Amino acid sequence: MEIISREIGLSNVHVIRGEKTVIIDTGCYRNKAGMANELYLMGVDPKEISLIIVTHGHFDHCGNLKVLKELTGAPILAHEKAVKFLETGEFAPYVTRGEWGQMFFDMVKGSPLDITPGVTPDIVVGDEDFDLKPYGVNGKIVYSPGHVNNNISVVLDTGEAFCGDTIVINPFNNFTGTGALFCDDREALDKTMARLYKEANVYYSGHGGPFTKDQIIVDPE
């Protein structure tokens, strides 16, 4: 199993190459040639990708969903609560944390970064765990609300978690690792963190990382 990560725009895109190859998140919008070039730089052949997973409906994670589907022909998997944002390409709701969060929100909204061509996901998951073995990955999808209520994570049997913006280490969370600039449900975020802490050892984030277990701080249950 091989993991390849690359920052595209503001956030990380991760490729897991196992029995089959899946891609997690897509970065900020690129045109077709631009996205093909990003894959080339990752050493990934678009044709090898058999599944596109989007962790949540924020522009910096789903900007290239449509173009990636066109390049690879692979289905898109998302949480049911993300569908309306992915289909409309609308700016998903942000619940900002403090003035820095608000400042970032105001800066991005309506800017060229905020481009999300609409696309309908092919595989929609709910709040129950979803087995990825039929898709060639020894792991599962885990519903991970808190950053936003449509966030999902991929947790591999070998202990790697790909958790979107659930675990990010920055000054805005006092370096605890708990969530990014936005958090729509603090209680849900703490529960998600506790579960990921229990089930994984290394955390591939949307921003920075990967982080180890001793870099994050989890409220005891």
Shortest spacing between CB 147 and Zn ion, in angstroms: 6
Shortest spacing between CB 69 and Zn ion, in angstroms: 20
CA-wise closest residue to 8 among 49, 31, 38? 38
Quick one: tokens of 221? 């249950």
**Which amino acid, one-letter code, is at 164?**
G
Interface of this chain with Zn ion, residues 39 to 68, rule: CB under 5 A: 58
- Name the residue nearer to Zn ion (CB basis): 139 or 179: 179
Answer for the pair 167, 178: CB distance below 8 angstroms, yes or no: yes
Q: Which stretch binds Zn ion (CB under 5 A): 73-81, 134-142, 157-165, 194-202?
A: 157-165
Shortest spacing between CB 174 and Zn ion, in angstroms: 19
**Rg for the chain (alpha carbons), in Å?**
16
Q: Which stretch binds Zn ion (CB under 5 A): 69-77, 95-103, 120-128, 162-170?
A: 162-170
- Name the residue nearer to Zn ion (CB basis): 106 or 131: 106
Helices 65-72 and 32-42 pack at an angle, to 10 degrees, of 70
Shortest spacing between CB 63 and Zn ion, in angstroms: 12
By CB under 5 A, tell whether 165 contacts Zn ion: yes
CA 178 centroid distance within chain: 15
Q: Which stretch binds Zn ion (CB under 5 A): 62-70, 80-88, 164-172, 213-221?
A: 164-172
By CB under 5 A, tell whether 140 contacts Zn ion: no
CA-wise closest residue to 123 among 52, 206, 62? 52
Distance in angstroms (rounded) separating the CA atoms of residues 165 and 153? 9
Q: Give the count of residues interacting with Zn ion (CB under 5 A).
A: 2
Answer for the pair 163, 55: CB distance below 8 angstroms, yes or no: yes
Shortest spacing between CB 196 and Zn ion, in angstroms: 16
- Name the residue nearer to Zn ion (CB basis): 58 or 195: 58
Query: Dihedral (C-alpha) 64, 62, 123, 125: value to the nearest 10 degrees?
Result: 170
Q: Please report, as ranges, the residues that interact with Zn ion according to CB under 5 A.
A: 58, 165
